[in-house]
């Protein structure tokens, strides 16, 4: 539940303004508001087109995205895991190589 509630809290205290109003306020004020934790959603003809958020919130969203990707991978693995395991040597051999042959090959530039 933490992941969802964190993402929602970023936009919970947001204010929607038309782009012309945002222009009147000026970039400095929008940035100061974002630094203070206030998100401003910019609208064009009543449709959201952008948001001014703090960099801290952008970092939090990036962290949440990584966490959600990890959760999705774990769930996919759990749903598809047959319990069968292969050794690295078996996988390498299935491509027609050995560890020794791979070690002797030059790295591509």
pTM: 0.58
Just give the CATH number of 2-58.
3.40.1620
Domain boundaries, given as residue ranges, for the chain = 2-58
The pLDDT tens digits for 20-39 are: 999 999 999 999 999 999 99
Pairing of strands 47-52, 40-44: antiparallel
Contact criterion met (CB below 8 Å) for 41 and 17? yes
Angle between helices 2-12 and 55-80 (to 10 degrees): 150
Res 99 pLDDT > 50:
yes
**Residue 13 CB partners (closer than 8 Å, separation 6+):** 37, 38, 39
């Amino acid at each position: 539940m933490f992941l969802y509630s964190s993402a929602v809290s970023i936009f919970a205290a947001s204010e929607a303004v038309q782009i012309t109003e945002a222009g009147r306020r000026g970039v400095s004020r929008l940035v100061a508001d974002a630094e203070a934790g206030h998100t401003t959603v910019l609208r064009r003809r009543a449709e959201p087109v952008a948001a001014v958020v703090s960099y801290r919130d952008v970092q939090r969203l990036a962290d949440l995205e990584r966490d959600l990707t990890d959760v999705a991978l774990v769930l996919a693995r759990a749903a598809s895991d047959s319990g069968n395991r292969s050794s690295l040597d078996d996988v390498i051999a299935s491509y027609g190589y050995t560890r020794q042959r791979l070690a002797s090959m030059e790295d591509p530039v």
